[in-house]
Structure 1
Amino acid sequence: MNGLSGQRVLVAGGTAGIGLAIARRALADGAHVVIAGRNPRRGAAALEQLGSQQVSFVQGDAGNPAECQALVTEATARLDGIDALFCCSGGNPMPRLLKDIPLEDVMGVINRSLAPTILPARAVLPIMTGQGHGAIVCIASDAGKLATPGEVAIGAAMAAIIMFCRAMAYEAKRQGIRVNCLTPSIVEGTELHDNLMDDPFAGRLFAKAKTLAHLGVVQAEDIAEAAVFLASPAAARITGQTLSVTGGISAI
């Protein structure tokens, strides 16, 4: 049970933040990795940071069905299969009180968080079914478990991701496919963290949350460790679970 050694890994949203940390952790285990993202410049920068011959970049928008299918198909060809998928993409919308979100923007906020996470999981399903095995780990947020002012739309999307993972796990277990979900709160060492803290409303919201993280504010590397564990043989009997990683901000 040597982590992801020798496994074929796709990280959707792997060019920065949590996704990049997961890619780095998987490479340290000896995995063969493809990172996917929309921006080729960010992809090139991520490859330079990772500095490994065992990683490559595929351009594509995981929230667009056609582009998502294309990037999964390309990653499958490069890796000759996919053993583990990490869904780390998302629209990263800024928290706003519901009354301040224009009616015509509400569904867009939800879809920008939801689609880039669940579409890659659906796209790899036939590949993993054909193999007879696979592990999927989706990154959502504790906003899908706890009602928080300013995160009504975001929380709706995150709750949908959590239920998607649970239901998919139930359907896919007979094919040897495991599906789990991680729900952080604020995560330092990410671009999203900096954007949140620079925003007047979100900054106050998450500054207060940080005071509750008595075990320490979570870092991107903390999420990477948990994600790689859930995708590894060490978690071979774990599926359909949602794990909060918040440093004590919540205890769910």
Structure 2
Amino acid sequence: MTVYEGRFAGRKAIVTGGASGLGLTTARRMIAEGAKVALWDLDAEALETARRDMGAAHAEALDISDPAAVASAADAAATALGGLDILVCSAGITGATSPVEEFPLESWQRVVDINLNGLFYCCRAVIPHMLNGGYGRIVNVASVAGKEGNPNASAYSASKAGVIGFTKSLGKELATKGVVANCLTPATFESPILKQLPESQVDYMRSKIPMGRLGEVEESAAMICFMASEECSFTTASTFDTSGGRTTF
């Protein structure tokens, strides 16, 4: 991994899902490149370990599907960091792997609550802090499943399609306000989230990638860090793929 020393010097970031997987890798890189980072995650024990290991400036255990908790956490992070410049919404779950006619209702609701509603609550709570500072970078983690759909993953696919549509709307709203909002649409990459899926589902997703392999988490983290940087200044309301050639639109 190439570290761009000082790229995020003076910047204050929140990374959701920051205790593991893509969120953890992204937060670690941002800190290495100069950012002050607040980690959000549901897993309090893993969160404290991550905070201690990477030297995060702030950490808060919360369920992002609770809008009041998100609003309170955003204010606390802004106070702890001295403002907010960057939001990386990486928290997400896969939900059940099942055909629609058998899909558990509680799994559908939980996936939408975390992946879409929770992401909306995070953006809604953080944007006022960015507008106050006249600068912001929002990176919402979607998925190629939101573009193409994966069979037996209707809740996940629908929620990630929602993230893409929401980000397109948000980026256009903020286009003249100094805040850029884009989303990442990765194909499957090596991550703890794969433990939520049967091996047959992972094999299916791997078979759809022209490069013939799963992605590496560092590859998606590198793209996120570009999207969250000052260099990403004339692209908003857009998607950035890390899909090994699976999606090209």
2:241 corresponds to which residue? Answer: 244
1:220 corresponds to which residue? Answer: 217
Task: Tell me by how many angstroms 1:213 deviates.
Answer: 4.5
Give distance in 1, aligned partners of 2:12 and 2:38. 8
Identity %: 28
Q: 1:190-242 CA distances to partner (integer Å, 9 max, x unpaired)?
A: 2112332xx2xxx2132132243517421111111101100101111111111
Aligned residue pairs total 244
The gaps in structure 2 that reach 5 residues or longer are none
Choose from 73, 76, 80 the match for 1:74. 76
What is the TM-score normalised by the length of structure 2? 0.91
Choose from 107, 114, 117 the match for 2:116. 114
Give distance in 1, aligned partners of 2:144 and 2:127. 26
Q: 1:53-112 CA distances to partner (integer Å, 9 max, x unpaired)?
A: x53312222221011111111110011111111001123313322122145653443223
Choose from 49, 52, 76 the match for 1:48. 52
- Which region of structure 1 is more displaced relative to structure 2, 76-85 or 111-120? 111-120
Counterpart of 2:180 in 1: which secondary structure? strand
C-alpha spacing 1:32/1:249, structure 2 compared with 1 (3 Å)? same
Give distance in 2, aligned partners of 1:193 and 1:33. 26
1:191 corresponds to which residue? Answer: 192
2:38 corresponds to which residue? Answer: 34
Contact 2:94/2:196, CA 8 A, preserved across alignment: no
Counterpart of 1:77 in 2: which secondary structure? helix
Contact 1:209/1:249, CA 8 A, preserved across alignment: no
Contact 2:91/2:114, CA 8 A, preserved across alignment: no
Highest RCO, 1 vs 2 (Cα 8 Å, sep ≥ 6): 1
Give distance in 1, aligned partners of 2:118 and 2:193. 16
Q: Which one has the bigger helix percentage?
A: 1
The gaps in structure 1 that reach 5 residues or longer are none
Give distance in 2, aligned partners of 1:246 and 1:236. 23
Give distance in 1, aligned partners of 2:210 and 2:76. 40
What is the TM-score normalised by the length of structure 1? 0.90
Choose from 205, 208, 212 the match for 1:209. 205
Letter in 1 for 2:234: R
Give distance in 2, aligned partners of 1:140 and 1:223. 11
Task: Tell me by how many angstroms 1:26 deviates.
Answer: 0.2
Counterpart of 2:145 in 1: which secondary structure? helix
RMSD of aligned alpha carbons: 1.9
Contact 1:38/1:59, CA 8 A, preserved across alignment: yes
Contact 2:206/2:212, CA 8 A, preserved across alignment: no
